[in-house]
Amino acid sequence: MRYTPSEDRYTKMTYNRCGKSGLLLPALSLGLWHNFGHIDRLENARNILRVAFDNGITHFDLANNYGPPPGSAEENFGNIFKDDFAAYRDELIISTKAGWGMWPGPYGDWGSKKYLVASLDQSLKRMGLEYVDIFYHHRPDPNTPLEETMGTLDLMVRQGKCLYVGISSYQPDEAAKAFSILKQLGTPCLIHQPKYSMFDRWVEDGLLDVLEENGVGCIPFSPLAQGMLTNKYLKGIPEDSRAASHRGNGAIDEDQVSDEKINKVRQLNALAEERGQNLAQMALAWILKDKRITSVLIGASKPEQILDSIRCLDNYSFTGEELARINNILR
């Protein structure tokens, strides 16, 4: 059946300015890290994307290595895009990344000009796109000069293969240097994508300040700590969880799901219930409370999870007492 998006989709979402740029991003963006590979059901992936767009999620985030196998998430997205979303290309923000191992040999990993140019060309071909809106360097490369990596991002903009550029998982000092180089080249960095959740708060130790000082947006990934900050683990490790999974690709090691951590999850869940939210909604709201956060990347294995996550926008303010309780639980 031909897809026609909801006419009131833009009334259901909050949009935030990305740093000091002209670009607005939805408060929630959809990441295609999991559930969009060739091992997954294509029709389920299609339904997830449709429900997201129907509810104002205009940003779809990919990477060259998403799958499994690597590249398959982009291929599947490209097929769905052609059928369902091509007519709405100008309403979408589509991003991809390069920086992790993608093909054999010395030119299929890290941050060289050779690798980044080839990877983006491959990504565009897999998705059937003329350009992506945001192209990221996926992780710092300790052996390639930062000037080479950032210069390649600038080149990709000048060649029309992307509109904006970003970085992911850079530490504060690395990020500051990257921002300086890109600014001198005339292609300011749009956004940084770090890992950030209640259980992983490293960005609070300087990175968010660096982003604010440089007018760069922030879009955290893994805001639910790969499922730990949901109701899945309230009774221990469920069989269908990532902690019980042996698929790799972001699975949680069972030894990370300690009794102490599950006890913290239960305490956080009690506070969420007092706020009229479930734990996942509170965890997303807790990140969005910071004005330096542009958007949060959510994942979904079924369309209903999109609708559940969006409800975090009903209440993403916290009292001082609530924040103190959360800090005491997490300490």
In a domain, 95, yes or no: yes
Q: Is 260 helix (H, G, I), strand (E, B) or coil?
A: helix
In a domain, 216, yes or no: yes
Residue 8 has pLDDT above 70, yes or no: yes
Helix (H) / strand (E) element for 121: namely: helix 113-127
141 contact partners, CB below 8 Å, separation of at least 6: 99, 110, 111, 112, 149
Rg, the chain, Cα only: 19
- Tell me the angle at which helices 146-158 and 113-127 cross, rounded to the nearest 10 degrees: 40
In a domain, 37, yes or no: yes
Reported as a single tens digit per residue, the pLDDT across 154-180 is 999 999 999 999 999 999 999 999 999
91 contact partners, CB below 8 Å, separation of at least 6: 58
In a domain, 254, yes or no: no
What's 67's domain CATH number? 3.20.20.100
The Cα 324–Cα 331 span in angstroms is 10
The number of folded domains in the chain is 1
In a domain, 110, yes or no: yes
In a domain, 327, yes or no: no
Residue 300: domain span: 13-224+290-316
Reported as a single tens digit per residue, the pLDDT across 243-255 is 555 445 555 665 5
**pTM assigned to the model:** 0.94
pLDDT at 118: 98
The Cα 279–Cα 268 span in angstroms is 7
Burial (CB count within 10 angstroms: exposed 0-12, middle 13-18, buried 19+), residue 48: buried
In a domain, 326, yes or no: no
45 contact partners, CB below 8 Å, separation of at least 6: 32, 35, 36, 76, 77, 80
Reported as a single tens digit per residue, the pLDDT across 11-58 is 999 999 999 999 999 999 999 999 999 999 999 999 999 999 999 999
In a domain, 268, yes or no: no
pLDDT band, very low/low/confident/very high, at 234 (cuts 50, 70, 90): confident
Nearest to 163 by CA among 28, 53, 23: 23
